[in-house]
Amino acid sequence: MNVPDAAAPLHAYLFADPAAHSLSPRMHAAAFHAAGLGGTYEARRVPAAELGAALASLRAPGVLGANLSLPHKEAALPLLDDLSAAARAIGAVNTVVHRDGRLHGDNTDAPGLLAALDDAGFDWTPGAQAVVLGAGGAARAAVYAALVLGEQKVWVVNRTPARAQALAQSFPAPDRPVAAAPAADVPWAEISLVINASSAGLDAPDQTPLDAAFLARLPAHALVYDMVYKPRDTRLMRDARALGLKAENGLGMLAHQARLAFAQWTGAEVPVSVFVEALGADGVPA
Ligand SMILES: NC(=O)c1ccc[n+]([C@@H]2O[C@H](COP(=O)([O-])OP(=O)(O)OC[C@H]3O[C@@H](n4cnc5c(N)ncnc54)[C@H](OP(=O)(O)O)[C@@H]3O)[C@@H](O)[C@H]2O)c1
């Protein structure tokens, strides 16, 4: 267990700006309780200019680490002592782990997504291809996850094509290429997995990142995974289900990335159901 001194109070943080609406405090409070550890998790609004000082404060005894969210996920990279392979490849850190005065940067979004896909019953088949919608930090984690999964080719489709191009070019995987394309150029019949990693649909029940006409070209076994979880049923998910396709929202990923961060901080393997239940029906509007 990565607990510096079992008698000392344990602390973990979220550094973000804004931070007030995060669902992470309730998940980690439930996890500390379930693990039988007396610990606190506090969401702190940290403006970009104060990230260095906030990270330095994590080196104190009793501090387990922190989650990072917008706008710090990329900016933190050069400020940490070492990085996991996932954090380096994705170019973003969402979890900082404090061990003996050193700060280790990791990214639990990609393994969190993989665990959520597994829970959703995603049945990977050799030769399959994936589509990632979006070109921000979440899309980078999604592309990385799709490559780990073994997808033969990953298509990046984004509202601003130049950003999709830049993302695709930054993943050197010649054997399993990452390509930017407009939706019209994607071979939809070959696609087994569509991941919405754009913020289209977030707090916008009628907004979708993808015209339903493209969903209609997907094979029947394809899974549509929407990282958005507010609302719980996005327009993309509703369109996919209306076509008989399987669709899931991003709550599972949110819960799993938290579970994985908590395990790194404390060594405690708390079941994902604890994190899911902590999100509660009231936390995320239906
Ligand atoms: N479930 C989870 O655990 C989890 C984890 C991480 C992120 N997320 C979610 O993933 C989403 C993206 O996060 P991020 O950090 O990558 O954000 P980001 O860096 O701000 O990127 C946003 C992306 O969404 C695209 N976009 C925004 N509005 C759009 C619209 N109306 N139509 C089409 N595309 C649109 C942007 O396109 P342009 O390039 O054209 O601006 C950009 O590619 C957010 O909704 C976030 O909540 C969920």
Domain CATH for 51: 3.40.50.10860
Residue 196: closest CA among 164, 228, 219: 228
In a domain? residue 239: yes
Element (H, E) at 30: helix 24-35
- Ligand 1 centroid from CA 120, angstroms: 21
Let me know whether 36 and 147 are in one domain: no
Per-residue pLDDT for 269 more than 70?
yes
Question: Predicted confidence band at 233 (pLDDT cuts at 50, 70, 90)?
Answer: very high
Let me know whether 258 and 242 are in one domain: no
* 50-71 pLDDT tens trace: 999 999 999 999 999 999 999 9
- Ligand 1 centroid from CA 173, angstroms: 23
Domain CATH for 229: 3.40.50.720
CB 110 within 8 A of CB 172: no
Torsion angle (degrees, nearest 10) of CA 20, 23, 24, 29: 100
Q: What's the mean pLDDT in 233-250?
A: 98
* 93-121 pLDDT tens trace: 999 999 999 999 999 999 999 999 999 99
Q: Is 73 a catalytic residue?
A: yes
Q: What's the mean pLDDT in 120-136?
A: 92
Q: Is 134 annotated as ligand-binding? A: yes
Let me know whether 258 and 188 are in one domain: no
- Ligand 1 centroid from CA 133, angstroms: 9
Let me know whether 103 and 158 are in one domain: no
In a domain? residue 2: no
Give residues with Cβ within 8 angstroms of 181, minimum separation 6: 155, 156, 157, 164
Percentage of the chain lying above the pLDDT 90 cut: 89
Let me know whether 77 and 173 are in one domain: no
Let me know whether 245 and 256 are in one domain: no
Verify whether ligand 1 is closer than 6 Å to residue 222 (CB atom). Answer: no
In a domain? residue 4: no
Let me know whether 129 and 208 are in one domain: yes
Average pLDDT, the chain: 94
d(CA 278, CA 272): 10
Let me know whether 176 and 279 are in one domain: no
Instruction: Give the chain's domain count.
Output: 2
- For residue 279 the two structure tokens come to 């999100």
Let me know whether 222 and 153 are in one domain: yes
Per-residue pLDDT for 236 more than 50?
yes
- For residue 97 the two structure tokens come to 């782990």
Q: What is the pLDDT of residue 8?
A: 60
E strand segments, the chain: 10-16, 39-45, 63-68, 82-83, 95-99, 102-106, 129-133, 153-157, 178-180, 191-196, 223-226, 246-248
In a domain? residue 191: yes
Q: Is 69 annotated as ligand-binding? A: yes
Q: What is the pLDDT of residue 9?
A: 74
Q: What is the pLDDT of residue 197?
A: 98
Per-residue pLDDT for 281 more than 70?
no
Per-residue pLDDT for 141 more than 90?
yes
In a domain? residue 181: yes
Q: What's the mean pLDDT in 246-257?
A: 97
Distance of CA 269 to the CA centre of its chain: 19
Let me know whether 198 and 120 are in one domain: yes
Domain membership of residue 77 as a residue range: 10-107+252-283
Per-residue pLDDT for 1 more than 90?
no
* 189-218 pLDDT tens trace: 999 999 999 999 999 999 999 999 999 999
In a domain? residue 195: yes
In a domain? residue 1: no
